[in-house]
Amino acid sequence: MLLNQYIDHTLLKANATVEDIKKLCDEAKKHNFYAVCVNSYYVALANSELMHTDVKVATVVGFPLGSIVNQVKVFEAKKCIDQGADEIDMVINIGLLKSGYYKIVEDEIRAIKKAIENKVLKVIFENCYLTDEEKKVACKLSMNAGADFIKTSTGFGTGGATLEDIKLMKNEVQEDVMIKASGGIRDFQTAKQYIDLGVSRLGTSSGIQIVTSK
């Protein structure tokens, strides 16, 4: 697979404007990125801008904290699919995972996957807040619930993706679930390291720099 087809070209800043989202979509078309990733409000706009192209629309649910009523996450996910999203990146309820409420966390992932049916579900852990054992639990819960991807980070926590976390996650899921590395990936060398470890997708706002600086 070509490097650009690993990239979810991402813009999730609170101050992103309509023109910024249009520019993001234009860049994704120009560089043939796999997807754009935008906040849920902008799904319809991104879908309109990318119509008749191969670029997918990904969006985030329960973002960036994860501690939203689960029915609201499910509604947000369904609404985004209705507006043209191809992929949903949901944030788990980090506090409930750390509290040991594993069934609630797993059931929420399963409910969102059921709501979006055959669309792609990526489950964001926010690894910077988790112990290694909690990361392993999150991997198992995501697999049990039918997730398509597990993902390292929102990019809004205290840390992003690390090579060590990717190794840990890959060891837990093997080939059963794909992995998306996100947060702090800004150059070709770093991107290649993650791909060599077996990630299937990279979430980054530096996609253009990555594909043009190799």
Kindly list the catalytic residues: 89, 151, 180
User: What is the distance, to the nearest Å, from the Cα of residue 113 to the centroid of all Cα atoms in its chain?
Assistant: 14
Residue 41 CB neighbour total at 10 angstroms: 12
Cβ(57)–Cβ(83) under 8 Å?
no
Residue 90 bridge partners (DSSP) = 61, 123
Among 131, 137, 127, 132, which Cα is nearest to 102's?
A: 137
Cβ(121)–Cβ(81) under 8 Å?
no
> What are the counts of helices (DSSP H) followed by strands (DSSP E) for the chain?
9, 8
Radius of gyration (C-alpha) of the chain in whole angstroms: 16
The DSSP code sequence of 97-140 is: HHTT-HHHHHHHHHHHHHHHTTSEEEEE--GGGS-HHHHHHHHH
Cβ(8)–Cβ(38) under 8 Å?
no
